[in-house]
């Protein structure tokens, strides 16, 4: 996201915790650890000093893993009191509380904020290479949604659409990671494209059911932050969650598989959150249930597939 705004001529400061890594990025204008051999925009600045970054900014966008979201909002509280606007591209719910991130932001700041969540099919490497990409910006304020979208929109390669469904956009961005793990497992076990298509379609159906229970709009899940992101994440090995599923299918344990990825695998925590939300709202989510059992109950992936196929026959739409 920082590369998008910087490429659009907006002064952008990218903050990260690792001072050595940020210094190296400032010198090379590359992120060799995660995006090797890709040049970042020349105007992009890098720092490990959050106070400096916030002192120079008038808009904050958080793109940390979901587990660091609350901490980052808390560290930025003074800035948000002066500038009561916050956008983020973090995908996931808060682990342990299962809260949506807009609720976390309000809880931490104790104030009403204009908020926007950015989501959609957007692998980082392709964004940095400026390959055509489209995302959704969902906000509780229509004017703010349009303004955040304008920071990102580029007529040559990047489109940003707006929405008012923050719940649906966030839920789609969280649960698609769980289904990507399932897709990786299925592919790793040698099942074919029929299996993957069925998994994606039936998984999307259950996301819609849970979303409607939580107050989201059905049509959101047919868009970029729902179907679009789900298809992308389930189908390409750039997805960390899909690669994690592939590792589980090879027989690697959860910890070993996560270490082999080397980055946050949001679907691990999202599996627990989605399963608990489904239980609380009495929504049947069998694929999420099996992924949860594989990760947290040490269930054999092959047995999980067998149990899915043994489910009773039912109508496609209920």
**Going by DSSP bridges, is the β-strand pair 61-62/114-119 parallel, antiparallel, or unpaired?**
unpaired
Phi, psi of 59 (to 5 degrees): -145, 130
Separation of CA 271 from chain center: 13
Which residue has tokens 């489209």?
134
Based on the residue annotation, tell me whether 176 is a catalytic residue of this protein. Answer: yes
Q: Which of 176, 269, 299, 314 is catalytic?
A: 176
What is the C-alpha separation between 73 and 309, in angstroms, rounded? 43
State the maximum Cα–Cα separation within the chain, in Å, rounded to a whole number: 59
Burial 158-182 (b: 16+ CB within 10 A, else e): bbbbbbebbbbbbbbbbbbbbbbbb
Report which DSSP code applies to 57.
-
Residue 43: exposed, middle, or buried by beta-carbon count in 10 A (0-12, 13-18, 19+)?
middle
**Going by DSSP bridges, is the β-strand pair 85-88/114-119 parallel, antiparallel, or unpaired?**
parallel
Task: Give the helix ranges, DSSP H, for the chain.
Answer: 2-7, 19-28, 50-55, 69-75, 77-82, 101-109, 124-128, 142-152, 166-188, 193-213, 229-235, 240-249, 254-261, 266-280, 286-296, 301-309
Residue 214: exposed, middle, or buried by beta-carbon count in 10 A (0-12, 13-18, 19+)?
middle
Q: Does residue 190 contact residue 252 with C-beta atoms inside 8 Å?
A: no
**Mind telling me the catalytic residues?**
176
């Amino acid at each position: 996201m920082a590369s998008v705004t910087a490429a659009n001529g907006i002064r952008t400061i990218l903050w990260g915790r690792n001072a050595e890594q940020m210094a190296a990025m400032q010198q090379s204008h590359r992120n060799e650890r995660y995006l090797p051999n890709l040049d970042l925009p020349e105007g992009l600045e890098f720092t490990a000093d959050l106070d400096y970054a916030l002192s120079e900014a008038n808009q904050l966008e958080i793109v940390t893993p979901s587990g660091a979201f609350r901490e980052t909002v808390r560290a930025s509280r003074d800035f948000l009191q002066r500038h009561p606007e916050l956008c983020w591209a973090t995908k996931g719910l808060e682990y342990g509380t299962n809260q949506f991130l807009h609720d976390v932001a309000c809880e931490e700041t104790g104030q009403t904020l204009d908020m926007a969540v950015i989501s959609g099919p957007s692998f980082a490497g392709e964004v940095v290479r400026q390959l055509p990409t489209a995302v959704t910006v969902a906000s509780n304020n229509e004017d703010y949604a349009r303004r955040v979208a304008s920071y990102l929109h580029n007529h040559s390669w990047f489109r940003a659409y707006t929405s008012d469904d923050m719940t649906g956009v966030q839920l789609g961005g969280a649960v698609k990671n769980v289904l990507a793990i399932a897709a990786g497992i299925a592919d790793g076990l040698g099942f074919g494209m029929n299996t993957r298509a069925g998994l994606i379609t039936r998984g999307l159906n259950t996301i819609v059911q849970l979303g409607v229970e939580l107050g989201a709009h059905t049509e959101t899940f047919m868009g970029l932050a729902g179907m679009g992101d789900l298809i992308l994440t389930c189908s390409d090995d750039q997805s960390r969650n899909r690669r994690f599923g592939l590792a589980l299918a090879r027989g690697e344990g959860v910890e070993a598989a996560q270490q082999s990825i080397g980055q946050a695998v949001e679907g691990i925590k999202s599996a627990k959150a989605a399963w608990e939300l489904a239980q609380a709202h009495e929504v049947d989510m069998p694929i999420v249930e099996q992924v949860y059992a594989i990760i947290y109950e040490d269930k054999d992936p092959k047995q999980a597939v067998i149990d899915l196929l043994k489910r009773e026959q039912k109508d496609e739409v209920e």
